[in-house]
Amino acid sequence: MRPDLTQLRDLVEESPGFGRGSASAVPEEAIRDAETRVGPLPPSYRWWLAEFGHGRAGGAQIATAGPAGAADDDMYEAITAAWRLSGARLCFAVEPDCGDSYSFALDRDGEAGAGEHPVVCRDGIDGEEYPVAESFAGFLAVRAARLRGLRDGPNPTVARLWRSTPGVLLGNGVHVYGPHTIAERNETFEVARYAPHWVLVGDDGGGDGFFMRRHGRDRVSVHRLGLGAVRADVAAAGEPVTDDLIGWLRAAGA
């Protein structure tokens, strides 16, 4: 799923533990200069550089790009620092005190497509590598979800979506929530009270919500139900929408 940059901005601005560094936004010239040294940068990471310069996601410090033409190969916080590129891994974030590091897997194409690369983590203790997200935007979404106590997400389908993008907002008003909005929307409509086995994952912008089961064998089906009529048996009261949320969003232009 291609990252939704509007949702990404909202995620960054509304997530506790996220913040800009002291640097200003990186000019396009400097980003292009960095790419001559390390290769094309993923679009959602380029967006971060252009908007925020550098900063953090939780405790992980995110690399920036130095001024165009500067000899910043030894500048620790620069994405072009010599130590960051190792084979097919480009390290863009590091936890403090020799903690975990996060890298783009340059030899892989993830589900996010369009120049994005999956993100992998190298454990700061045992050196083992494991997958984290399908894009830089997904990395931020995963970090935000865990900082908010949401773990990977309310069910596997939403967790998969968040690994690529922190929610989706379509031109027709359909909004599938990211980790920065899902808890508030469920609290507003008292889903835990009236439909405790379901989670509100989005809405159509016109008064209907999209619901999925939290537990059980069927955690892929999406049902539409009026947000003023939330009840325990969502499947009976509402109407089926899809059993492939991500495919449905892609078909709609996401």
254 residues of the chain, pLDDT tens digit each: 999 999 999 999 999 888 765 557 999 999 999 999 999 999 999 999 999 988 899 999 999 998 877 665 668 899 999 999 999 999 999 999 989 999 999 999 889 988 999 999 999 999 999 999 999 999 999 999 999 999 999 999 999 999 999 999 999 999 999 999 999 999 999 999 999 999 999 999 999 999 999 999 999 999 999 999 999 999 999 999 999 999 999 999 98
| 52 lies in the same domain as 82 | yes
> Is 151 inside any structural domain?
no
| 108 lies in the same domain as 199 | no
- Please give the Cα distance from 2 to 46 (Å, whole number): 14
Of 111, 106, 114, 61, the closest CA to residue 88 belongs to 106
Q: Which domain holds residue 139?
A: 5-146
Q: Which of 120, 146, 172 is the last residue of a domain?
A: 146
CATH code (residue 90):
3.40.1580.10
| 131 lies in the same domain as 164 | no
- Please give the Cα distance from 114 to 16 (Å, whole number): 29
> Is 177 inside any structural domain?
yes
| 171 lies in the same domain as 108 | no
Q: Which of 96, 120, 146 is the last residue of a domain?
A: 146
* Domains in the chain, number: 2
Of 160, 169, 154, the closest CA to residue 213 belongs to 154
Cβ neighbours around 207 below 10 Å, total: 10
Give the chain's length. 254
Contact 11, 165 (CB under 8 A): no
Cβ neighbours around 75 below 10 Å, total: 17
> Is 32 inside any structural domain?
yes
Q: Which of 107, 128, 146 is the last residue of a domain?
A: 146
| 113 lies in the same domain as 210 | no
Per-residue b or e along 16-44, where b marks 16 or more CB atoms closer than 10 Å to that residue's CB: eebeeeeeeebeeebbebbeeebeebbbb
